Structure 1
Amino acid sequence: MGRAMRAKAEIMDAQEMRRALSRMAHEILEQNPDPGSLAFIGVHRRGVPLAGRLAQQVAAIEGRPAPPVGALDITLYRDDLTAVGPLPVVRRTEIDFDVSGRSLVLVDDVLYTGRTVRAALDAIIDLGRPARIQLAVLVDRGHRELPIRADFVGKVVPTARREHVEVRLTEVDGEDRVVILERIEGEGGRP
């Protein structure tokens, strides 16, 4: 980003996040009557712990073992790789189950332009042919550039393009909260 950012507003605290994930898990089960065919795939970085949390919620609701959870790195599938940076960080894709025939829930923290989801879909299709792929996101902030819609959403938050939604998770950041950051432009911190 290069420019300084400042916190503008907190849009979810830890309790709101827990409630949203619980509601999303119930919705996932309503839309997937055979939980045995479910699997969760989180997009690196924060989608991975969110996928794990959703799988655990589904297990608790159903009283059965958690569905499998995988981690997906989409860095090399991005159509904007040159805009990401000169040396993008490539993480490992870790999916130790067959995606073919499964109902997959692709999980990411924030849905913005849709480009990350498009890249994730390409990466998943390279692994096999799932029965269906559904999208779960903690925050949908709008501004789509591609025709992509989430099936399960924790919270819809209209934002300005100059704003950034930052999801903080205990597993990665040591706390659970979601804040809107605003870009500070020019001298004296005036946007």
Structure 2
Amino acid sequence: MARVVLATHNPHKVEEFQAIVAEVRPDLEVIGYDGPEPVEDGVTFAANALIKARAAAQHTGLPALADDSGVAVDVLGGSPGVFSAYWAGHQKDATANLELLLDQLSDVADPHRSAQFVSVIALVRPDGTEDTVEGRWPGRLATSPAGPGGFGYDPIFVPDGQPAGDERTVGEWTAAEKNAQSHRSRAFRELVPLLVTL
């Protein structure tokens, strides 16, 4: 079985990518990265994704995928954006990040709470060839968290396109529902033609 390393120490992301990859390349195993974390000092999702994928490809000698993603809130000028994981500080506390964002938006009325999840996936091959693809998932932010599922900002993100009367956050979605619609799955669809060459 062919293998590709996903440049993350987050087991949730490895599981999510494996489920998405299996739909188009069941012979491709996604493995987690066990090497040192590079300094993510890029100021765009693409720059950070490439930094992580280059490090993983160099460390393992395998083709490497890396995702850099976050939530971009329109009324905040696209923030937290690339700083989504560190919005409340360097400790990378998902609960604190979510609570701070809700606090910052506490006086913002529902029509102005539009946001989108953004994912950029980088593919770096051992020969140094590099590609990036992007997926965006539009929606808006709820005023309080709901649902036990997902991670990060999922419990406050209400995607566009749900049936009338369905105001569920991604935290209330099943993993299968999320994998079919998410920003990562949208980016991954752009990645498919590249994966078939591995």
TM-score by length of 2: 0.30
Q: From the two aligned structures, give the one with the greater helix fraction.
A: 2
Highest RCO, 1 vs 2 (Cα 8 Å, sep ≥ 6): 1
